[in-house]
Amino acid sequence: MDDTLSAQGSSKHVPVLLEATMAYLHPENGGLFLDGTFGGGGHTRAMLESSPEVCVVAIDQDPEAEERALALKKLYGDRFSFHSTNFADMGDLEEQSFDGILFDFGLSSFQLDEGERGFSFRFDAPLDMRMNNREGITASEFLESASEADLIRAIRNYGEERSWRKVIAAILGARGKGILGRTKSFADLIESVIPRRAGFKERIHPATRTFQGVRIAINNELESIEAGLEEGFRRLKVNGVMVAISFHSLEDRIVKRFFRKLSGRPEHRKDDRFQEEREILGSMIETKAVKAKEDEIRENTRSRSARMRGIKKLIEGVAS
């Protein structure tokens, strides 16, 4: 589960696994880097600071990230540019190839801490949850109109909510009554069908998983990650490194399988293709995901669920 939500509290945005990311990307050697998830610009700034020979192209689909990017533009001028777009659409970028690419998926603490965005039930606000709130449908509109199959995909598959049947029955029964319009009334609805458990689990609100699932569904998060990784690797120079930081198992599984495929390894247990059928386009920096150490977790709860993986491009080609 995504700790950004389960933590229930949030602090100012601190980039996760910053040292580890820099150790994989080596911006101190200079070059052109892509930050696919600008957020508060923590990783971008560290790259720009590491050498005057570094340029960063940053992407974020959140219109508010663009405002934060202006501050960096003032500081770093032509060494920094920002594109307000989905990383799945990076095909539109004019820069063709990068020495390093970073994706730090999920939500920024700016998004979580601004109640009006509707990501968190810590605040009573319209149930919006769109990372790009200039387009698409809100979470509330989704809950009012989605087919049962789409609700199952969101709440069972993406939210990994075991009591998904109860939650979906409650959603269907609440349609047209205004309950699905706000974070608080929606969270209360879920709590009415999945009561809080005593003990350790008390910390986690019963609505946490459903909120995560609905957010992933309305933002098409997993499809974007698949497309972004593919396009990112295509735009990586030979010897360049791509790093991806995930916050829950669904994201990490996509990254792990893609990196395994690129490095000529079986993508999953049922992948029984012969070795000769596999092309080796990259090499995983480490086979295991890098996790935050205890002291980082103490400073920044968000880092607890972070899993970082990196791949180095060996040759040009398209993963088959």
Ligand X SMILES: C[S@@+](CC[C@H](N)C(=O)[O-])C[C@H]1O[C@@H](n2cnc3c(N)ncnc32)[C@H](O)[C@@H]1O
Examine residue 301 and tell whether it contacts ligand X (CB under 6 A).
no
Q: Closest separation between CB of residue 245 and ligand X, Å?
A: 8
* CB-nearer residue toward ligand X: 22 or 88: 88
Is residue 27 close enough to count as binding ligand X by CB under 6 A?
no
Among residues 6, 30, 42, 234, the one that binds ligand X under rule CB under 6 A: 42
DSSP code string of 204-256: S-TTHHHHHHHHHHHTTHHHHHHHHHHHHHHTEEEEEEEEEEESSHHHHHHHH
Q: Binding of ligand X at residue 217 (CB under 6 A)?
A: no
- Compare residues 131 and 168 and give the one whose CB is closer to ligand X: 131
Minimum CB distance to ligand X, residue 32 (Å): 18
Least distance to ligand X, CB of residue 250, Å: 14
Task: Give 257-311 as a DSSP string.
Answer: HHHHHHTTS-SSTT----GGG----EEES-SSPEE--HHHHHH-GGGGG-EEEEE
Q: How far apart are CA 26 and CA 164, in angstroms?
A: 44
The answer to whether residue 296 forms part of the interface with ligand X (CB under 6 A) is no
Distance CA 212, CA 260 (A): 26
Q: What angle do CA 218, 220, 224 make, to 5 degrees?
A: 155
Q: With contact defined as beta carbons under 8 Å apart, do 216 and 176 qualify?
A: no
- For residues 24 and 243, the answer to whether their CB atoms sit within 8 Å is yes
* Residues 59-88, interacting with ligand X (CB under 6 A): 59-62, 65, 86-88
| Contact pattern from residue 118 through residue 137 relative to ligand X, giving x for each residue in contact according to CB under 6 A and a dash for the rest | -------------x------
3 binds ligand X (CB under 6 A): no
What is the contact surface with ligand X in residues (CB under 6 A)?
13, 15, 37, 39-43, 59-62, 65, 86-88, 104, 106-108, 131, 224
